[in-house]
Amino acid sequence: MSDKDVLISSQNGVGHIVLNRPKALNALSHKMVLDMLEAMKAWQGDPDIHAVLIEGAGDRAFCAGGDIQAVYENGRTDHDGVMQFWRDEYELNALIENYTKPYVAMMHGFIMGGGVGVSAHGSHRIVTDNSIISMPETGIGFLPDVGGTYLLSRAPGGLGYFYGLTGGRMTADDAIYCGFADYYVPEDKFNALKEAILAGGDVDELIKAHAATPPEGDARWHHTQIADWFDGKSFDEAMAAIEADESEFAQKALKVLKRQCPLSVKSTFRAINDAKNMDSIEPCLGQEFRYADASLYEFNFYEGIRAAIIEKDRNPQWVPATLDQVTEQMVDAMFKPLGDKELKLK
């Protein structure tokens, strides 16, 4: 296989994208995003292309996120360059959401953060037995971006809050139930479906022929309980409901929530709330872009990446240290308007 980080080709009327950094779990670099944008814009207007299929190289991951180590290394010294990466990435997310041709995402293995952004906005999202989908950003001092707040705000009941705030992992069934995927294809049929689509067959008919019912996941099982925690509640009311729930599931969730970055948790709650009133992905990406800009000037994002990726001590020292120390003014500051530097997608 080529040593390029993203392989772009077309065959039998299908545009084919392969994320090709398997050793890095196919993490997205800026160059990969730009190459994908260029190809997809060209295919959009090409009458010979009737569908696009995206996959990740290797067995472990479709895409485990953006290249946050590069953001860590450059964020303090090249603010505009890092923000340009996010501009281009978010443009790609919006393009996928609004694409006029079938966009088939073969979502195997880990699909996290930026990987969600280039899969879960597609028209045909295929998960399988080893699929693990999550938006773990509150654990690194960030918030679910790449249109994550758009998807989370549309999950049934309180599930979007649960998965967004805790960074919890979704199985194939969870992802379908929460609106992050459409179809489950068993692992022994997964590659056969991909090859059939690349051979130029009808996307909908082929998926229908290969799809099955996935094993039931936690989301369906705990949906009513999670809805009781979050539905129609303020952040403080939701936390009180979880604390009052003595079940093992609730206490485990509470422990996770108190371990994540407090400012990120409260900001994510705000962003999901606001996204519920947004009728398209673009304004959701706009508020995420504001948060990204603020994060580059803020302590927690660098501290979270340090603890998780750089030094790997898994012991971030958040500021503020606890949820009750995070004020509404602190959250407001993370979404402050950017004037002429706002994200403009339409």
Cis upstream peptide for 283 (omega within 30°):
no
Q: Cα(273)–Cα(292) distance, rounded to whole angstroms?
A: 18
pLDDT digit string (tens) for the chain, length 346 residues: 578 999 999 999 999 999 999 999 999 999 999 999 999 999 999 999 999 999 999 999 999 998 888 889 999 999 999 999 999 999 999 999 999 999 999 999 999 999 999 999 999 999 999 999 999 999 999 999 999 999 999 999 999 999 999 999 999 999 999 999 999 999 999 999 999 999 999 999 999 999 999 999 999 999 999 999 998 999 999 999 999 999 999 999 999 999 999 999 999 999 999 999 999 999 999 999 999 999 999 999 999 999 999 999 999 999 999 999 999 999 999 999 999 999 999 6
Report pLDDT for 70: 87
Question: Of the residues 15, 114, 160, 167, which is catalytic?
Answer: 114
Per the annotation, the verdict on 145 as an active-site residue is: yes
Per the annotation, the verdict on 114 as an active-site residue is: yes
Report pLDDT for 3: 84
Report pLDDT for 68: 87
Question: Of the residues 5, 67, 89, 137, which is catalytic?
Answer: 137
Per the annotation, the verdict on 137 as an active-site residue is: yes
Question: Which pTM value belongs to this model?
Answer: 0.97
Report pLDDT for 1: 58
Report pLDDT for 305: 96
Report pLDDT for 67: 84
Q: Which tokens hold the place of 293?
A: 């800009």
Question: Residue-wise over 247-258: b if at least 16 C-beta within 10 A, else e?
Answer: eeebeebbebbe
Question: Of the residues 91, 145, 282, 293, which is catalytic?
Answer: 145
Strand pairing of 51-56 and 6-11? unpaired
Whose CA is closest to 334, among 167, 151, 141, 137?
141
Q: Cα(79)–Cα(165) distance, rounded to whole angstroms?
A: 26
Report pLDDT for 2: 73
Strand pairing of 183-184 and 124-127? parallel
- Helix and strand totals (H; E) in the chain: 16, 9
Report pLDDT for 144: 98
Q: Which tokens hold the place of 292?
A: 């990204």
Question: Of the residues 15, 65, 66, 158, which is catalytic?
Answer: 66
